[in-house]
Amino acid sequence: MKILVIVKSIHHQNTVKIAKVIADVLNAEIKTPREVNPEELKNFDLIGFGSGIYSDTHHKAIFNLVDTLPQVTTKKAFIFSTSGSPGRFAEEFRNYTSKCHIPLKEKLQSHGYKIIGEFSCPGFNTNSFIKFFGGLNRGRPNAEDFKRAKEFALNLKQESFEEVK
Ligand SMILES: Cc1cc2nc3c(=O)[nH]c(=O)nc-3n(C[C@H](O)[C@H](O)[C@H](O)COP(=O)(O)O)c2cc1C
């Protein structure tokens, strides 16, 4: 099973840290959108798309890449992100980030991708005036976030292998 993790991580490298944990479990390659040749994606069985959340959605480089992808029928994908909104209210955080994932999810689905999992966690945020107060989510992603990312990847692995069996 060939797996690719595509990540755009520009603010504090928060999302690439998560991408590395996921890729490690899945034995996957990691690339930035710029490094991806859309044609090569046909060689992968499962593709992950992730970035920090910017203005309530994924980074535009991810959308620009997806725009160039050929239509597929049986390709599986997963979505991940880190977000600067406060992580201490778990349920609100989950509701917010799952809304932020919708535009990318719908775009991938419109290209024929089946979304088999989504992951999000808080990421250190010093955007705009927030930096004057020391930033939000300092130290995130943390050990607990990496543990959840690992569990997420293990679940993906199990699901993908189950389908192959
Ligand atoms: C220009 C800018 C816009 C941002 N917009 C949002 C936002 O709308 N919602 C949010 O929760 N976090 C927002 N953030 C915080 C980032 O999502 C967060 O820091 C994320 O972990 C960055 O990931 P990265 O280091 O992988 O780029 C923004 C950060 C920047 C720099």
Ligand 1: does its nearest atom lie under 6 Å from the Cβ of 13?
yes
76: left (phi over 0), alpha (psi -120 to 50) or beta: beta
Cis-peptide into 122, omega within 30 deg: no
Instruction: Give the distance (Å) from ligand 1 centre to CA of residue 16.
Output: 13
Q: Tens of pLDDT along 101-139?
A: 999 999 999 999 999 999 999 999 999 888 888 889 999
Strands 57-58 and 46-54: antiparallel
The full set of domains in the chain, from first to last, is 3-164 (3.40.50.360)
- Cα–Cα dist 97/104, whole Å: 12
pLDDT over threshold 60, residue 165: no
More confident residue, 18 or 130: 18
- Cα–Cα dist 31/38, whole Å: 12
Ligand 1: does its nearest atom lie under 6 Å from the Cβ of 53?
yes
- Cα–Cα dist 138/119, whole Å: 19
Ligand 1: does its nearest atom lie under 6 Å from the Cβ of 122?
no
Model's pTM, two decimal places?
0.96
> How far is the CA of 88 from the CAs of 24, 56, 121, in angstroms?
27, 18, 11
Ligand 1: does its nearest atom lie under 6 Å from the Cβ of 126?
no
Ligand 1: does its nearest atom lie under 6 Å from the Cβ of 137?
no
